[in-house]
């Protein structure tokens, strides 16, 4: 029961924050509200290939992909320290809103 609470909290945070992240990256806000399409845009903004969308369908692998994309949110918004990466993996429901709604963080692009 507890893992489901963490999962639903994470999905709720993503739904509430992805649109703001997209606006910072110069994309329209509506793209953050379309399920599936928002994952494709998230991959594009993170510098990952489009075919990673299929990795979300593989149980277990999808959790790893979400962790990688969480770290990529912090990278693309200028938080590139190891400490920030660890926080994004362990506490994404705290750090994602902090980065998305903070005016001091701007989209700088992925590390290629």
Rounded to an integer, the average pLDDT of 67-91 is 94
Domain count, the chain: 1
Rounded to an integer, the average pLDDT of 12-28 is 95
| Residues of the domain holding 14 | 2-101
Note whether residue 80 is domain-resident. yes
Note whether residue 37 is domain-resident. yes
Report if pTM > 0.85: yes
Note whether residue 112 is domain-resident. no
What is the chain's mean pLDDT, rounded? 93
Rounded to an integer, the average pLDDT of 55-76 is 94
Given a cut of 80, whether residue 25 has pLDDT beyond it is yes
Given a cut of 80, whether residue 52 has pLDDT beyond it is yes
Sign of the C-alpha dihedral computed for residues 61, 35, 27 and 95 taken in this order = negative
Q: Are 89 and 82 in contact (CB under 8 A)?
A: no
Q: Are 17 and 24 in contact (CB under 8 A)?
A: no
């Amino acid at each position: 029961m507890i893992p489901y609470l963490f999962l639903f909290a994470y999905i709720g945070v993503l739904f509430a924050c992805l649109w703001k992240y997209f606006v910072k990256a110069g994309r329209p806000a509506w793209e953050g509200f379309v399920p599936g399409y928002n994952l494709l845009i998230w991959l594009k903004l993170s510098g990952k290939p489009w075919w990673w969308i299929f990795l979300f369908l593989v149980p277990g692998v999808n959790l790893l992909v979400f962790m990688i994309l969480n770290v990529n949110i912090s990278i693309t918004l200028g938080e590139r320290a190891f400490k920030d990466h660890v926080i994004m993996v362990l506490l994404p429901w705290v750090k994602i809103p902090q980065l998305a709604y903070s005016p001091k963080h701007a989209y700088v692009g992925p590390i290629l």
